[in-house]
Amino acid sequence: MNLQVDDAAAAPPADAWPRLSAEDRFARVVEAAPTALVLTAGTGRIEMVNQQAERMFGYSRAELQDKPLEMLMPKRFRHGHVGLREGFLAKMSPRIMGDGWDLFGLRKDGSEFPLEIGLNPIELDGQLMVLAGIVDVTARHEIAREKERQRNELERSNADLEEFAYVASHDLKAPLRGIAHLAQWITEDIGSAASAETTENLKLLQGRVLRLQSLLDGLLAYSRIGHTHTPAEVVDIGELVRDVTALLAPTAGFEVAFEGDVSKILTHRMPIHVVLENLIGNALKHHDRAAGRITVSARQVETSVEFRITDDGPGILPQFQERVFQIFQTLASRDQTESSGIGLAIVKRKVQGHGGRIWIESAPPARGTSFVFTWKEAAA
């Protein structure tokens, strides 16, 4: 036998279900509210609680009925709470009770937990009452404590880094200077009697000492990023590029030019000076020809200035374009090009410290590399 049931006939009509009154609907909403709700009389006696309040404090509503609200807070807060409640009733305006204070609730089992209370005056049957909305903020406090722990750990790490920087700049550099002097004295003592191989080895020794000294200087500079505070000023970018170029003293075949749309920027002079000095110096150092051109440009991009340092050198392959910003990383052999491998790591940290980012645009075998970075101006 094949029975078929008409869906329309099987389902009861919509108006067949009993409809709740507005009062019952509202009561269900109150019961299902994720916030603990406690209604108290003007005297502070509990008149009503919802299910969330029962769950939060561990009492049944029968246990709370007509009890003082203060039973839900630790003893040390009860006396002060009476004054707060009376002050609230005197002003009669919705607000967070104890705003700016650390408030705690007390569960039936004696355990405490942090909370926030929002208060609203309400009149029922001619009687003034107070509706308290209570939120357990334990998770928020745990997050705040974790952030504080991380902040303290960061301060400790920074202190360790400062201590390391001090050791590197003082205790290690002095022996290096002694080694450099010894190598120079040995070179002077043996003079022309030294073989070509010995002379070359002494040069290599002196080069290694200079490299290590440069490495220590770079580590010191890297560790101190963000630890100096100087006022912002209006910096003329073209003038700054000329100053940096004069300091680097490129050989006669190289030209460094500024062609930016933005000529001035409000910022801290030393960080932007360090960034440009490293990027222009990097372009000069790694150029593969006896002559070349480095162009510095700047343009406004929303709230930042975008700098572009472009050279006509050999370029950087895509797989190396992120690696060059890592500390101690160099693409050329240090015996070919003296480098501590820290300069571009310093550049990246300074750029990020001024709200920007840095990247490379280069596509060998086409010649040329552009180091591009954004830099947020200081607040006027």
Rounded Cα distance between 103 and 73, Å, is 8
Selection from 49, 115, 122, 47 nearest residue 89 by Cα:
122
Taking only the tens place, the pLDDT of each residue in 277-302 is: 899 999 999 999 999 999 999 999 98
What is the residue-wise DSSP string for 63-91?
Answer: HHTT-BGGGGS-HHHHHHHHHHHHHHHHH
pLDDT in tens, 66-111: 999 889 989 988 877 776 667 676 666 666 654 556 789 999 999 9
Q: Work out the number of other CB atoms within 10 angstroms of the CB of residue 59.
A: 19
Residue 171: strand, helix, or coil: helix
How does pLDDT run across 124-140, given as a tens digit for each residue? 888 888 888 999 999 98
What residues have CB less than 8 Å from 79, skipping those under 6 apart?
none
Model pTM score: 0.49
Measured distance between the N- and C-terminal CA atoms of the chain, rounded to whole angstroms: 87
Q: How far apart are CA 192 and CA 182, in angstroms?
A: 17
